[in-house]
Amino acid sequence: MTLQQLRYILAVAEYGSINAAATRLYSSQSNLSTAIKDLESELGISIFRRSNRGVTLTNEGTELLGYARQVITQADLLEARYSHDDSDQARLAVSTQHYSFSVEAFVRTLEECGGDEYEFVLRETGTLQIIEDVKEFRSEIGILYTDNYNQRVLWKAFDDAHLMFYPLFEAPVHVFVGEHHPLAKRKTIQPGDLAEYPRYSFLQDERNSFYYSEEPFAYLPHAKNVRITDRGTLANLLASCNGYTISTGLLSSEMYTGIASIPLETKETMKVGYVIHQGRDTGWLLHSYIANLKKLIAACPDVTSYVS
């Protein structure tokens, strides 16, 4: 099996005929036909049904196509990453849940980078995507949280992906509401107090279960749910509407004005940390980013820091 054979079957499936695919790929029809027949013989399956109208995928061919797309995507990423000499280029890619401290550490590290060439990537994304990004080396590091509810599932996911989890801090669970919210003046909030208000949470991948949520107690049923993808929208919702979200209690810079952070009466805590692939060679830029994370955490008085 070769990458070229996989590219051929992807093209034939897309254009509906071997002739059309050959034209698009600037190859001969006989080359494509021979390559596909060789692959069918090697795998012991029929990939396409052939007729006067062209070709269509068989059930086995459809399954193979899914795998082929994954392989070609990864091959294209490798080619793009190493297609030029960038041995001296500084690179840092971070995948993170929606935490302001991870973004601020990213900015500080960028400001400290004095190289003539560099590539910095920041992805604020869902929990499963973070794990996959670090697993597939798209990101050097992932930032996320665990608690008593999700830790067994997440630790299994970390093990399967060959990731190591390093805790940064542990924080009590807080409720974020706007300053004009009926609960804004409370010293503490009980879970039952939230039942009548909309719950705001960050949108996760469709494959995700409650174990991959960014907010504690996501598994509890709620009548009013609003899901968003960025912290700016969350801040606007909190300031403008009588909804709430649950997090660590650390307000981000866009939430300092007009937002109240109130402890939730629960014994549950959130342990926030980072994951790195066991096979990752941690370079100086990643070490700088982790150092900036630890500096920011050490400056927060309301959390239990695990950093030294």
Residues 147 and 291 in one domain: yes
Residues 35 and 180 in one domain: no
Beta carbons within 8 Å of 172's beta carbon, 6+ residues apart: 248, 249, 263, 264, 269, 270
Residues 151 and 134 in one domain: yes
Residues 221 and 287 in one domain: no
* Alpha carbons within 13 A on the beta-carbon side of 132: 11
Q: Specify the residue for token string 């982790």.
A: 290
The model's pTM is: 0.70
pLDDT of residue 75: 79
Beta carbons within 8 Å of 59's beta carbon, 6+ residues apart: none
Q: Is the dihedral of CA 27, 32, 33, 38 positive or negative?
A: positive
Residues 166 and 278 in one domain: yes
Encoding tokens for residue 308?
């030294």
Q: Which of 82, 103, 118 is the last residue of a domain?
A: 82
The region, left, alpha or beta by phi > 0 then psi within -120 to 50, assigned to residue 67 is: alpha
Residues 184 and 250 in one domain: yes
Paired strand residues for 167: 273
Q: Which of 82, 110, 126 is the last residue of a domain?
A: 82
- The conformation of residue 249, written as its DSSP 8-state character, comes to S
Residues 244 and 111 in one domain: no
Residues 25 and 42 in one domain: yes
Residues 129 and 149 in one domain: yes
pLDDT of residue 136: 87
Domain of residue 99, CATH code: 3.40.190.10
Residue 282 belongs to what domain range?
90-170+271-305
Structurally, the chain folds into a number of domains equal to: 3
Residues 229 and 260 in one domain: yes
68-110: pLDDT as tens digits: 888 888 877 676 556 544 455 688 999 999 988 899 999 999 9
Asked if 201 contacts 218 with a C-beta cutoff of 8 angstroms, the reply is yes
Residues 190 and 63 in one domain: no
Residues 287 and 163 in one domain: yes
Asked if 150 contacts 216 with a C-beta cutoff of 8 angstroms, the reply is no
Query: What are the CA-CA distances from residue 216 to residues 156, 159, 269, 274, 294 (Å)?
Result: 19, 22, 9, 18, 23
pLDDT of residue 86: 47
Picking from 105, 100, 101, 93, the residue whose alpha carbon sits closest to that of residue 129 is 93
pLDDT of residue 265: 94
User: In the chain, which stretches have pLDDT less than 70?
Assistant: 77, 79-89, 206-208, 250-257, 301-302, 305-308
Cα separation of 63 and 177, whole Å? Answer: 47
pLDDT of residue 108: 93
Long-range contacts of 191-194 (CB under 8 A, 24+ apart): 191/217, 191/220, 191/264, 191/265, 191/266, 194/244
Question: Strands, DSSP E only, in the chain?
Answer: 48-51, 54-57, 90-96, 118-124, 141-146, 163-172, 174-178, 199-202, 225-228, 245-247, 259-263, 269-277, 304-305
- Cα of 177 vs its chain's centroid, Å: 26
- Reduced to 3 states (helix: H, G, I; strand: E, B; else coil), residue 202 is strand
Domain of residue 49, CATH code: 1.10.10.10
